Amino acid sequence: MDNFTPVSALIGGALIGAGIVLLMIANGRIAGVSGILGRAVQPDGPEWRWRVGFIVGLIGGAALASIAGVAPAAIEITGSLPLLIGGGLLVGFGTQLGSGCTSGHGVCGLARMSPRSLAATGVFMASGAATVFVMRHVIGG
């Protein structure tokens, strides 16, 4: 655990919580990023503008942090391009199948004490743990 930074994690969590509450108060909507993104690429509904604004805000927040001198975490992506594309497609399929993603179920749904979100988040976490186990210990990557 070399990169444990409790202060920045606390600040980040508080900002995520504030943003979620603000979206709920302003629009009465849950901040499920996969649903927001999925409907933002269909510019035919009346809610298209705020969805695009939300996505721009996510990207803009990262850009502002970079401009402010916050160093991004060093990561190394070792998977092949087909593996990454396949993984992305499976995640997209899973968010449709589960009617939401970790931000919608894991952050917003659990905060609302939704039993459905508790079950979905449990499945997300178990699937992630199983995937890591298979990739590292069975396939060997």
- Extents of the domains making up the chain: 1-75, 77-141
pLDDT at site 133? 92
Q: Enter the pTM of the model.
A: 0.70
Calpha distance 83→89 (Å, rounded): 10
Calpha distance 2→90 (Å, rounded): 30
Q: What is the H or E stretch that residue 116 is in? A: helix 115-133
pLDDT-derived band of residue 129, with 50, 70 and 90 as boundaries? Answer: very high
Q: What is the H or E stretch that residue 18 is in? A: helix 6-27
The answer on pLDDT for 115 being more than 90 is yes
Q: What angle (nearest 5°) sits at the alpha carbon of residue 74, between those of residues 73 and 78?
A: 130
Distances (CA, A) of 97 to 32, 83, 107: 14, 21, 18
In the chain, what is the straight-line distance between the N-terminal and C-terminal CA atoms, in Å? Answer: 21
> In 28-108, which ranges are continuous DSSP H helix?
33-40, 48-67, 81-97
pLDDT at site 135? 83
Phi, psi of 45 (to 5 degrees): -100, 165
Query: Quick one: the chain helix, strand, coil %, rounded to 5?
Result: 70, 0, 30
pLDDT at site 96? 81
Over the stretch 94-113, which tens digit does the pLDDT of each residue have? 888 878 787 788 888 888 88
The answer on pLDDT for 23 being more than 70 is yes
The answer on pLDDT for 126 being more than 90 is yes
pLDDT at site 30? 82
Q: What angle (nearest 5°) sits at the alpha carbon of residue 27, between those of residues 21 and 19?
A: 30
The answer on pLDDT for 5 being more than 60 is yes
pLDDT-derived band of residue 56, with 50, 70 and 90 as boundaries? Answer: very high
Calpha distance 141→136 (Å, rounded): 5
